[in-house]
Amino acid sequence: MQGTIVVAIGGALGSVLRYWFAIWLAPVSKDLPWGTIVVNIIGSFAIAFFGAMTMASSRFEVPEIWRIAFMVGICGGFTTFSSFSVQTFELLRLGMPGRALMNVGISLFVCLAATALGYVVGQAISKV
């Protein structure tokens, strides 16, 4: 039950943060959904960074419940694959396949790069 509660609280926090990013980036999101792209990049980095820093083999010992709260709750609520999908579909529906492809490419490759970077940086810091 404790895990469910921390995931719910973290998910609420992550969702509010995502909403704020969407509002903040709305002025520059006319051509592409930059709010979603940015939160997915940040979230991809953050989940890998925190996960790498708090692995059982790292020097930063964090109770598993805090890993669950951050990685499943906050990052899960913050990142938005469902929003990404519907926004990409909307770009296609509006006859903008180039922008849809840009959205997919940026989201996929930059988020994967952010995940790898988060892991490497987290591992490096946890061994200092």
105 is in an annotated binding site: no
- Tokens representing 85 are 């999908």
Tell me, what's the pLDDT at 14?
97
pLDDT in tens, the chain (128 residues): 999 999 999 999 999 999 999 999 999 999 999 999 999 999 999 999 999 999 878 888 899 999 999 999 999 999 988 889 989 999 999 999 999 999 999 999 999 999 999 999 999 999 87
Beta carbons of 51 and 115 less than 8 angstroms apart = no
The predicted structure's pLDDT at residue 4: 96
**Kind and range of the H or E run holding 59:** none
pLDDT at 81: 85
52: CB partners within 8 A, 6+ apart: 58, 118, 119, 120, 121, 122, 123, 126
pLDDT at 59: 84
pLDDT at 32: 95
Question: Given this model, what pLDDT does residue 110 score?
Answer: 95
- The model's pTM is 0.81
Indicate the number of domains in the chain.
Answer: 1
Q: What does the pLDDT read at residue 83? A: 83
79 is in an annotated binding site: yes
User: Which residue segment(s) compose the domain that 15 sits in?
Assistant: 2-126
Under a CB-based contact definition with an 8 Å cutoff, are residues 15 and 78 in contact? yes
The answer to whether 48 and 110 are in contact (CB under 8 A) is no
